[in-house]
Amino acid sequence: MAMTVVAFAPGRVELLGNHTDYNEGLVLAAAIDLGVTIRAERLGAAVLEVSSETNGRKATASLDKPQRLAGDSAWTNYPLGTVWALREAGLDVGGLRLHVTSTVPLGWGLSSSAAFEVATALAALSLYGLSVPLMTLAKLCQKAENEFVGVQCGLLDQASSVFGEEGKAIVLDFREVSARTVPVPSEAALLLVDSGVPHKLTGGEYNDRRAQCRAAAKALGVQALRDVASDAVMSASSLDPVTRARALHITGEDERVQAGIKALEAGRLQEFGQLMFASHESSKRNFENSTSFLDALVDIAKTTPGVLGARLTGGGFGGATIWLVEKAQAPAMLGPVAEAYRQKTGATCRVLLTKASQGAHLF
């Protein structure tokens, strides 16, 4: 058994399908070429030692009676929770020393936390000669975030990090709990444009939206909003205006994902881009998980030559937008986009060129 391994897990962008994961719906996502790298080794004692090059901190925690950490050590809950979840599942993982580096910008909504969890799990399983199916790996990392870290995220982030493929988008079905890929035409690139306003999921809005979606499904008499079409939501008398709007976002997103899969398979990038713009409009009006800064970026995208589509990515309430762009025109956009945003909002955005990339792997 190897005594040292290096594991990498990528961040992700969600191209279409916003907040659909916990509604048993569909998402089109992509792993990106930014992620978390962990150099890991086994330890004799049942402890977790973590050091991060990114934040310059170190922490040690017991694996026998793991306690959630607070304050400056809270970041350690991601790997600690992951090892806890593996052990809870009966996987005989022992002591670990983890040295962590990350290229995922924090606060952009690109799911650095899931990348941290997936890289930890991959390293731990490898060091102890264990293996689980990929979807099980994603679910155990989700359990770590739900039950140990205390964020009620869906499975989207972890599954995207696990199932990514170079040059492909991932179709995730959260009812079947399945993943497959569809090609992204090679003339397209992805531009990440951060609003400069950090995305925070531990706040109450995310859990509020989940509760509103549950209430909508209950009022409509279905197991989940996956089971309803937008037409039925529009005509349902049992919904108050806010609950109806929340439900319409979810049903509309599922419909846009289905249309988006067909568009990608046929190489119709313009059509896919229009679905992204429509998705953002629904986030703004129906789900109210956008911000004026994210809206400003999408407005700029609409008038920038070579941009096919744009929308917020991730949970919303801050963070970044994802733009589908013509690869040949992408380099010329970077400066003008930042300047247009500064003039429009007075804020500074950061722009990164990325692409659909390989999922989690060992080096």
**Which residues are marked as active site?**
157
- What are the backbone angles phi and psi of residue 266, rounded to the nearest 5°? -95, 0
Rounded Cα distance between 171 and 28, Å, is 5
Question: Quick one: CA dihedral 277, 281, 286, 287, positive or negative?
Answer: positive
Rounded Cα distance between 350 and 143, Å, is 32
Rounded Cα distance between 57 and 71, Å, is 12
Rounded Cα distance between 164 and 174, Å, is 16
The token pair that represents 85 in the structure block:
């979840």
User: H or E element: which one contains 312?
Assistant: strand 307-312
* C-alpha 348 chain-centroid distance: 23
Q: Which residue type, as a one-letter code, is found at position 71?
A: G
Rounded Cα distance between 99 and 96, Å, is 10
Pairing of strands 178-183, 188-194: unpaired
